[in-house]
Structure 1
């Protein structure tokens, strides 16, 4: 008797249904995950510390320095000619006593005071600068308040001074136009006396209180009381 080479177990295991099932099932595909590239977020700048009185906030760049196209005024000037540049006047500045070194070109303030008007010396105890206009000087100043009156300076020249009518040029470094007076009438304002001042009789302020009387000793005419 001839035996078959196949065993029943092998034929039974390879059934058509099983074969069909294996062939029809697709191959398993591995799952893929899409990854999104992330960009790093920019970091904000560190906060600026607030300014303190000891470390004030400064601008990024220094502001430009103001410049002027006009030249600097000369160190000295002529009071009679008023030869300072525009916006300046020739007058006295600095501490007393008055001398040639005090005469200089001084800036004119906006809306300056005019002749006979009340004025102000801008530096206490100094001869100037003041608030008077060109050709004027703040004179007869109260030492406590610095307030005085704008006096008219002489024009022309040292050899030929010019003043308004009924006024006389008096003074040296800062010559002023002062009223003429009559020594017999003594027609000066209160506190002044009519005295001869080398060229004419003018009103001079009495320097001592009480003023020296007739036949009393004195250091000059301006110490004597009106006659």
Structure 2
């Protein structure tokens, strides 16, 4: 089986009605943009991939990650990273502690501090480890959320309207940051968006649901 994320003849139904049908392969470093009006099933598709599909839905087909069938795996075992429109940082933790939450257990305190410092430098926020998330701009919060997710070493990345809460300049900056990091790490990406500019920036294939 090919590396990357494969939706193998996936069909999601609710009360006997098909909500989503998709049969696609997303190669490492590629971005598949999923577009369509609200309520068409875009976020439902992402919940299937993360293993959080609501009990009201049923699905057929398989979700494969690097050739392994993860369709029935527990969410925490799938190693799927996801970014939402909201940054979802923990308000009671410092920036550094938020990033530490993404690190796997183990390693010395010094080693964990080094990884956090390197992560902050990578996103242009060196020296921010002790900062309160409440003091950050929207763009800075988004960068911290991205890096926290990447520190968890996901094998695929999902974007659920991840850029829609940012102004035009920050949006363009975050798109470049996310897509570049995904390509550098060879992560297959599925991006749900209403904005054609997001899909254009991704430069990959586009699927329109409900079209």
Q: So what's the TM-score if we normalise by structure 1?
A: 0.21
More strand by share: 2
- Structure number with higher helix proportion: 2
TM-score (norm 2): 0.23
Higher gyration radius (CA): 1
Q: Which has the higher contact order (CA 8 A, sep 6+)?
A: 2
